[in-house]
Amino acid sequence: MPDQLYQHFRKFIDISEEDFRLMLPFFRTLELRKKENLLQEGQLCRTNYFVLKGCLRMFFITDKGQEQTTQFAIENWWLSDYQAFQQQKEATFSIQAVEPSRVLAIDFRAQEELLKAFPAMEHYFRMVYQTAFAASQMRIKYLYGLSREEMYFHFIEQYPGFVQRIPQYLLASFLGFTPEYLSELRSRKRS
Amino acid sequence: MPDQLYQHFRKFIDISEEDFRLMLPFFRTLELRKKENLLQEGQLCRTNYFVLKGCLRMFFITDKGQEQTTQFAIENWWLSDYQAFQQQKEATFSIQAVEPSRVLAIDFRAQEELLKAFPAMEHYFRMVYQTAFAASQMRIKYLYGLSREEMYFHFIEQYPGFVQRIPQYLLASFLGFTPEYLSELRSRKRS
């Protein structure tokens, strides 16, 4: 039983172990290799993912044919292309495992059924999305207000463990600069 | 009775007129003059706003002392500094009326009580935040993937009425360029 999901639910809602056991059939557990794709741009986006272990990233392909990472998800984060998920249409992002990962997957219809069967889960997902939206308001603020360099220093201050963990070329892409410039910033920080 | 809010609730939840009447005391109606402030950076963020008529914008002050608009809200949109609202702490954004506006205001505690008294409202707010988060994932994609010029043309294509409505210097700030450059783009579009 993924006790970790139960603990995450219990952060927000009062739920019995018995009810939680009844919820489990709504989810599938997936084991992912490093760089394994969960979703590809253009595919129907059917599924919402909860990271039990590991790290996912969401990205799109730019006009220049490069992968641009826009979001990461580590343990206890949900991730999907939510516009596509909500409307059950083609994804405009891809999702890939950054490292070997274990995730829980719930399909759109299963999630709708889960919410009908356990209305307390509306509160849980309300809190998940409210928190995610609040974080994205701050993210947009930083994208406007900080230089790329300031973003880097802000990021390593807020998520020191995370920066150790993800490959530097992905961090560079996420922050919008070249791996070379990232090395330069890293050495500047050390000096 | 703000019938408009009732209709917006009914887009997502099944709710009787009687229940809706019981909800109204949780809200206050505010009439705002153009440029009137609802929230100022540094103030405790107590309130969530629903636009009945008019237009709000959210902005912050950059290091250079300039106002940077990050978000607009027109009829039937909710707006707050959600990180500050959720944690009941000081706002890192300001909110101001762009034009004379009528909004419904609900304080944090009133919203919590409303959600306890009417659990169906959890579904309503889950959908509101899910939709807002989905839109912000797309927004972040455009901030990474489009040039400022492409953002402008994308924006006028998606929200033609909106572009007519808001002052051009605010649109320029939102899109991250000078009013002069915006005029240049506008004339390029006409030619």
Asked whether the beta carbons of residue A70 and residue B176 sit closer than 8 angstroms, the reply is no
Which residue from A minimizes the CA distance to B116?
A: A123
| Structure token digits, residue A167 | 């490959």
AA identity, residue B138: M
As a whole number of angstroms, the distance between CA B82 and CA A144 comes to: 18
Averaged confidence pLDDT in chain B: 92
Helix axes A148-158, A168-175, angle to 10 degrees: 130
Asked whether the beta carbons of residue B130 and residue A86 sit closer than 8 angstroms, the reply is yes
Q: What is the ipTM of this complex?
A: 0.93
Asked whether the beta carbons of residue A145 and residue B83 sit closer than 8 angstroms, the reply is no
Asked whether the beta carbons of residue A82 and residue B123 sit closer than 8 angstroms, the reply is no
The helix/strand/coil state of B177 is coil
Backbone angles phi, psi at B14, to 5 degrees: -90, 115
Residues contacting B112, CB < 8 A, separation 6+ = none
How many residues does this entry show for chain B?
191
As a whole number of angstroms, the distance between CA B28 and CA B24 comes to: 8
As a whole number of angstroms, the distance between CA B140 and CA A143 comes to: 8
Please report, rounded to a whole number, the percentage of residues in chain B having pLDDT higher than 70. Answer: 98
- Give pTM, 2 decimals: 0.93
- Gyration radius from chain B CA atoms: 18
**Counting beta carbons within 10 angstroms of the beta carbon of residue B7, is it exposed (0 to 12), middle (13 to 18) or buried (19 or more)?**
exposed
How many residues does this entry show for chain A?
191
Taking Cα atoms as reference points, which of A181, A152, A180, A142 lies closest to residue B143?
A142
Residue-level pLDDT, tens digit, chain A, 191 residues = 578 999 999 999 999 999 999 999 999 999 999 999 999 999 999 999 999 999 999 999 988 898 999 999 999 999 999 999 999 999 999 999 999 999 999 999 999 999 999 999 999 999 999 999 999 999 999 988 888 888 888 888 888 878 888 888 888 888 877 878 888 888 876 65
- How many of the other CB atoms lie within 10 Å of CB of B80? 28
Domains and CATH numbers, chain A: 2-116 (2.60.120.10)
Residues of chain A neighbouring B130 (CB-CB closer than 8 A): 82, 86, 125, 129
As a whole number of angstroms, the distance between CA A118 and CA A20 comes to: 10
Among the partner-chain residues B123, B130, B140, the one whose CB lies closest to the CB of A140 is: B140
Among the partner-chain residues B60, B82, B137, the one whose CB lies closest to the CB of A81 is: B137
- How many of the other CB atoms lie within 10 Å of CB of B48? 22
Residue B14 to residues A80, B9, B11, B17: CA-CA distances in angstroms?
Answer: 27, 8, 8, 10
